[in-house]
Structure 1
Amino acid sequence: MATLGDRLDHILGAKAADSLAEAFDMDTVEDLLRHYPLRYATQGQPLTEEEPEDGSHITVIGRIAKTELKPMRNRRGSLLKVMLDTGAGRPVDVTFFNGDKVKYVVKEGLRAMMSGTVSYWRPGSWNLSHPGYLILPETEDDSVGTFTRVRGGGDLRGLAESAKGAGGVDVSFMEREFIPVYPATAKVQSWDLLACVRQVLEQLDPIDDPLPERTREERALMKISDALRSIHLPESRADIDQAKERLRFDEALALQLVLAERRHEVAGRTARPCPPRTDGIAAAFEKKLPFELTAGQQEVIGEIASDLSRVQPMHRLLQGEVGSGKTIVALHAMLQVVDAGQQCALLAPTEVLAAQHYRSLRAMLGELATAGELGAADQATKVVLVTGSMSTATKKAALLDAVTGEAGIVIGTHALIQDAVEFFDLGMVIVDEQHRFGVEQRDALRAKAKSGTSPHLLVMTATPIPRTIAMTTLGDLETSTLTQLPRGRSPITSKVVPRKQHPNWVDRAWERILEEVGAGRQAYVVCSRIGEDEEDGGAGTGRGGTVKGGAAKSKAKAAQEKEPPTTQAAVEVFDMLRAGPLADVRVGLLHGRLHSDEKDQAMRAFNDGDIDVLVCTTVVEVGVDVPNATVMVILDADRFGVSQLHQLRGRIGRGAHPGLCLLITDAAPGGSAMARLTAVAGTTDGFELSVLDLRQRREGDVLGSAQSGTARSLRLLSLLDDLETITAAQDFAREVVREDPGLDKHPGLASMMRAAVDAERLEYLAKS
């Protein structure tokens, strides 16, 4: 007999267990039984007097009346044409594409079972193309019979092999209505997995159900033993549905137990409280604001202020539309911490964004950001910037201000995480566009707080990526949401430009930019890559300032390539535009491989209106604020993700004039890429787009570091479609953890939690 915790090599033998471990990282019986079927195949309907429907799946048994090998017309190889006499009307025509191989098994006079999809060549004439097949033993009554030697091909052969026991092939198993089909590999086929699952289930001991009977009855859930058997070997569609419902709840509960334990642990940490003051820098900042905060901003500021006043560290996500005013809210929180005599660190993903934050925060604070300078306000603090490319002297000065406490606000990129960066008293960490940072990086910055304390944490995002939605939906973070746009924001219209179908529309895009520039406004042209010579870092060096006219050197280089890239590079587009359609306006270039001084020079020139059109890469994706920019052309838009497109588009329409975003693409009209672009163009609702992103990419590994859909700890649960299940599991998990924080009284639930997330993931989650 076997239990869920038994090793597979003890049950299946070393050879099978090693194959499963190598292919799927399976070690225990539970690992195998939690590898759920991808779908269920049926053996199809038997042949009747009526003609089957085109595309239907049928299974027929008969005698091979005729075979004929014919050469293929348009390529090498042969077809094997077979006539199968089923004894029910006309014979069934069957075609095998690998005729030279099949002819040695499929011979006239033999009995066979064939299962495949019906194809009609013309009305009344149908065929089975390359079906699965089995050669059957001869019996007196034409029954299938029992046989030990498996001869056949396709799914039927695999199924027969999996149904083979000591006494031969279990024919009754092959007649099941639902046959599980598993995620498989080239070395471990679905039928191999099925054979292993059947062997394990035959030996499995009864399982103690970790869910209390009361909970199962309230939600009409199967016992776990029944669910695991029914998911693999269902007798009916109802079995499948009920098993999935139970196992889906278990997935939600396992994750909610992890998160409930984590919330309990975070609640036990200590932070330095930062209660709001009426006479400090935060109050002075509110008084000097030249505009009124939206009701949403005021509400979120209140939520954060309440969190910061507690001795438990804040752990909050601030999400809001592009341009909804998250920076003002974050700055108010930082000033509340500064009022408490502590420091704040603002972590930005790029130097462009860090510099933009530095300039905008100093501009908003005015004399309140000039501590130590003549004319500084009494409550003033100091704001410093730390980036990797700063000069040594400038960086040393900034680091000195951080370690002595002179700087209340320290803004930086990954450079803030370096060991050389120390803080006098770090009270809060703000992570902008948090999906651009790994958990380890955030943890390294939070570790710079004084020993025995944890800094408050605020993470911000304009378009939640799938993993963020997952964590938020699962209730890991307290969430604040800004839905209102501040006054002064203008609407943005987005259009998809199919370049192959309408090349003249691209010319119109450049004309549209000229019209806006002629009206005194500015534009972005965004490219997906830098240039042909970006490998050596030399592309565009020294070309970040204002230019007009010029020769297209990189264009000549691209022409020499044997296989030129299919996307347009920023350097080449820059040359093409300033020598061609935009020759009469001022064109600038900005990308990540420029020296920091050149990047800053280009961005300042665009800010000051000395550049009309900025050709750039995604370095402008977040945080860049030029209210006079009204047009954005995104080349090869299908190469960008949904979140990126929404972030980029948010750089326009930030002033008094409406924005226009043109998404230029070569994507096929009916393809998924075009559908994605059409959806982005159809809405400016970032939360609606995040749902689209989640549906396309799936949730990712919500308890691990993977943020794509390739590694998923969720097998059946959908964070979009199963919110009611998640909510019910959350309520149950929090109640259990509140009464039994270590789950000492609930060993079954503790085991369920460990099965959902291993030690490495738990360590990862503890840092996040």
Structure 2
Amino acid sequence: MTGQQLPLRFGGGRYDRRPPVTRLSFDPATLSRPLADLERVTPRVARRLTAFGLTTVGDLIEHFPRRYEDFRDRKAIRDLKLGEEATIRGEVVRVRAERTARRRVDIVKVLVRDDTGAVEAVWFNQKYLTRVLDEGMRLSLRGTFRPQSGRQQFVVKGHEILGEEDGEGVHTEGVVPVYPASEQVSAKLLRALVHELAPVMRRLPDPLPAGLLTRERLPGRADAVTAVHLPRTLAEARLARERLVLEELLLMQVGLLLHKQEQQQRVRAPALPEPAALAQAFLDGLPFELTSHQLAALDEIEADLRRDVPMRRLLQGDVGSGKTVVALYCLLRTAEAGLQGVLLAPTETLAAQHAETVARLVGPLAPAELVTAALTARERREALARLASGETRIVVGTHALLTGDVRFAALGLLVVDEQHRFGVEQRDALVRRAEHDGLAPHVLHMTATPIPRTLALTVFGDLDVTTIAGVPSGRQPVVTRLVDEEMRETGYEFVRKQIAKGRQVYVVCPAIDESESIQAATAVAEAERLQAGPFREARVAVVHGQLKPADRDEVMRAFKSGELDVLVATSLIEVGIDVPNATVMIVEGAERFGLAQLHQLRGRVGRGSEKSYCLLFAAAETGAARARLEALLETTDGFELADKDLEIRGEGQVMGSRQAGVPDLKLARLARDRAALLRARALAAGILEADPGLRSPVHGPLDAAVRDAFGGELGWLLKA
């Protein structure tokens, strides 16, 4: 073993659960020490811990309890009551083993005595205890006093051997932490190892400044970490957890706001002049009136565009809320100022639709260029030349715009639609390449997947957020129905009546395999089944990711123009496709889809004046899948569903495609800790307002902790 021996050896005895916290010097290298240095950790145990994800002392200290068991109800043996679970202490008087003849169960019976009486303690199928337990040993036992084999016995749930000191047991007495564990790494082992680290926890330094602790009436980190692992009461554990949750969220918020602060200071952006005739002509020419929420969004974004600080804003709104028209106005404002604007879409189909919308609403005011992978080499070369010269003022495109050969004359605005579909590094690389004369473009991110405020403050904590609530007038809510297998034919009959009325239908197949070719085959097979059976009188076509772009565009054109009745597809139609005459969405295998995805699919209908329907064809499900489907039946509000999704899945899965560099949450749970997150955001903003860049020595530990929390990513973020 290298280095100095850790200050506490594990000897199997009792521990003073909470000795006074000492303010001794702390060597940060201790947290990097391997767990193999601990007295109890053999090479075999070390391998199991490593496989479980615990390698260092710091890893174990930050492996927090999932819950607690309250074993403070220790009783004298004479006070035991039948059927009651309790903890007792006593001395071993006799140990014997039996094996039942009929069921062949090994039973260990130990007579245990305290000052008030004796009781027979019983273990089942733990014969090894006859080699471990000896007369005279002192035990702490957790179990239930009940009749067994015609006698009153204490059936043991957990036990530990006590030493000579008069402290509490680790596993069977007091408030006992229960850790996330596995078959190879038990909660009992983790408790024992954590106790070895008690002296280390009591000397942990605090990343939060003393003034903040005093002002916010917070316990120190050493006290909180010690209390969360070794609490004397459940209330103490709760308060300790609240302190550590606030710290975790504060470090995240400081890091995100540092990123935002640095972005705003690193480069300037072109400040657009006041709107002129072109922008007003666009607004006057719209065939509909903007909602109050759209106008409010325009005001917020307009204020950003007229500053020389690079805009980094997220525009979110429910399906069909009217985000695209807001984005088009911003692109037109940019073109009007003599700069270029880019609208980046995740798919060629959506990019083509955006280009059509630009042509329809913007028209000759500022002609747009469409750049996708479908262009020939010559077409692409000519399009990129027009971009580089500044001839093209508005460009709509896909990932084809993210390659290194794309250059702009003067990019003023980048709009990223469904921003989660693009890699952060790709997106930021485009922004850096577009910098000109020391100026960076404004960036507007758009999403039709409503984001709960708590999630927005974490995943997009370095962005300003604008929300368009509600949808334009005239939109009817989509009627949603759950269709089980017994009602399938009834569902088909309803759809046939809709087709007879001239309406159109989407049928979406679940992704049962990650392979695009298998997904395509599934969609093709479903289209053939429907054409031969339920919809034999209808015009059915299929679209999937394996089609050539030109073929896919032709199918979509035919569906939009009414030449097709039924479009069978993979989930690629979940975003952006707008066919007002489509009034029915069938989702096959709906239990396989996520809540946000189901809501997006439902949003593909209900875009015209006719009543629309979403039919969820699903197998009988329980648990999370059933909760998702029921939530969809209860509301059409995307923000309500986003909160429900966070509650059902937790932030770990909802943040699966999160912004690069945002640290994982170890203790905080966004659905539960909203108040703590808002408090952390306010504290972080106050700290950085008083000390931009955390330059003050008093914030040195906080700065170091933030960079450690973000790992190597914070530096990357600060350069983005």
2:442 counterpart (436, 447, 456): 456
CA contact 1:343–1:408 (8 Å) conserved in 2: yes
| Cα displacement string for residues 649-677 of structure 1 (whole angstroms, at most 9, x for unaligned residues) | 00000000121111111142x32211111
Say whether residues 1:747 and 2:700 are aligned partners: yes
Report if the CA contact (8 A) 1:698-1:708 is conserved. no
SS at 1:427's partner residue? strand
Cα drift, residue 274 of structure 1: 1.8
Residue number in structure 1 paired with 2:510 = 528
In the alignment, what sits opposite 2:290? Answer: 293
Moved more, 116-125 or 14-23: 116-125
RMSD (CA atoms): 3.7
CA shift, 1:229, in A, is 1.6
Contact 2:589 2:618 in 1 (8 A): yes
Give distance in 2, aligned partners of 1:267 and 1:67. Answer: 74
Distance 1:321 1:662 in 2: 20
Contact 1:634/1:662 (8 A) holds in 2: yes
TM-score (norm 2): 0.85
* Aligned match of 2:681: 730
In the alignment, is residue 389 of structure 1 matched against residue 387 of structure 2? no
Question: 1:590·1:615 contact (CA, 8 Å) conserved in 2?
Answer: yes
Name the counterpart of 2:5.
none
Q: What's 1:671 paired with? A: 623
Distance in 2 separating the partners of 1:396 and 1:127: 87
Name stretches of at least 5 consecutive residues in structure 2 with no aligned partner.
Answer: 1-23
Per the alignment, residue 30 of structure 2 pairs with: 7
- The 5 A counterparts of 1:548-627 are 569-627=522-580
Aligned length: 682
Kept in 1: contact 2:108–2:129 (CA 8 A): no
The separation in 2 between residues aligned to 1:462 and 1:365, in whole angstroms, is 22
Q: Take 1:456 and 1:294, find their aligned partners in 2: how far apart are those partners?
A: 24
Which residue in the other structure is 2:500 paired with?
518
Confirm or deny: 8 A CA contact 1:64 1:109 kept in the other structure.
Answer: yes
Classify 1:472/1:486 alpha carbon distance in 2 versus 1 (closer, same or farther; 3 Å): farther
Cα gap change, 1:133/1:660 in structure 2, threshold over 3 Å: closer, same or farther? same
Contact 1:490 / 1:658 at 8 angstroms: preserved in 2?
A: yes
Aligned equivalents of 1:124, 1:521: Cα separation in 2: 75
Between the aligned partners of 1:287 and 1:189, the Cα distance in structure 2 is 69
Question: More displaced, 465-474 or 728-737?
Answer: 465-474
The residue number in structure 1 matching 2:634 is 682
Give the letter for the 1:314 counterpart.
M
Equivalence for 2:480: 494
Kindly provide the amino acid, as one letter, of the partner of residue 594 in structure 1.
L
1:115 Cα shift?
5.0
TM-score with structure 1 setting the length: 0.80
Equivalent residues in 2 for 1:412-431, closer than 5 Å = 412-431=397-416
- Higher mean displacement: 722-731 or 450-459: 722-731
Q: 1:421 to 1:475 in 2, by over 3 A?
A: closer
- Cα distance, 1:109–1:244 mapped onto 2, change above 3 Å: closer
1:69 to 93, 99, 107: 99
Match of 1:319, SS state, is strand
8 Å CA contact 2:143, 2:158 repeated in 1: no
- CA deviations on 1:119-139 (whole Å, 9 max, x unpaired) are 9999999988783345x6xxx
CA gap of 1:120–1:170, structure 2 versus 1, over 3 A, is closer
Question: Partner of 1:131: helix, strand, or coil?
Answer: strand
Quote the residue 2:261 is aligned against.
Answer: 264
Q: Cα distance, 1:625 vs. partner?
A: 0.2
Q: Check the 8 A contact 1:11/1:200 in 2, yes or no.
A: no
Say which of 68, 81, 91 aligns to 1:50.
81
What is aligned with 1:694? 646
Rounded Cα–Cα distance in structure 2 between residues aligned with 1:385 and 1:752: 46
Distance 1:204 1:652, change over 3 A: closer
Asked whether 1:240 is paired with 2:199, we answer: no
Residue 316 of structure 1 aligns to a residue whose secondary structure is strand
Q: Which amino acid aligns with 1:718?
A: R
Contact 1:433 1:461 in 2 (8 A): yes
Q: Deviations over 1:692-740 (max 9, x none)?
A: 22223322499x985499x962222233333333333323322222232
Q: Deviations over 1:262-306 (max 9, x none)?
A: 2221221211112342222x2221121111111111111111111
Deviation string, structure 1 residues 279-336 (Cα, Å, up to 9, x no partner)? 22x2221121111111111111111111111111111111111000000011001101
Matched, 1:507 2:489: yes
Deviations 1:576-627 (A, max 9, x none): 1000010011111111111111110110111000111111111111000000
Contact 1:118–1:128, Cα closer than 8 Å, also in 2: yes
Contact 1:2 1:200 in 2 (8 A): no
CA distance in 2, matches of 1:310, 1:9: 46
Letter of the 1:635 partner, please give it: E
Kept after mapping to 2: 8 A contact 1:526/1:634: yes
Match of 2:157 in 1: 131
State how far apart, in whole Å, the 2-side matches of 1:416 and 1:7 are. 48
Whether the 8 Å contact between 1:94 and 1:130 is mirrored in structure 2 is yes
Match of 1:39 among 67, 72, 76: 67
Change (3 A) 1:661 1:80: same
- The separation in 1 between residues aligned to 2:206 and 2:649, in whole angstroms, is 33
Matches within 5 A, 1:321-336: 321-336=318-333
**Identity rate, percent:** 38
CA contact (8 A) 1:277 1:336 kept: yes
Q: Superposition pairs for residues 352-371 of structure 1, below 5 Å? A: 352-366=349-363, 368=364
Q: Label 1:737 to 1:758 Cα distance change in 2 as closer, same or farther (>3 A).
A: same
Q: Which moved more, 1:587-596 or 1:416-425?
A: 416-425
Amino acid at match of 2:448: A
Which residue pairs with 2:611 in the alignment? 658
Per-residue CA shift, 1:551-580, capped at 9, x if unaligned?
xxxxxxxxxxxxxxxxxx312211110000
CA contact (8 A) 1:526 1:615 kept: yes
Q: What is the one-letter code of the residue matched to 1:722?
A: D
**Of 196, 200, 211, which residue of structure 2 is paired with 1:199?**
196
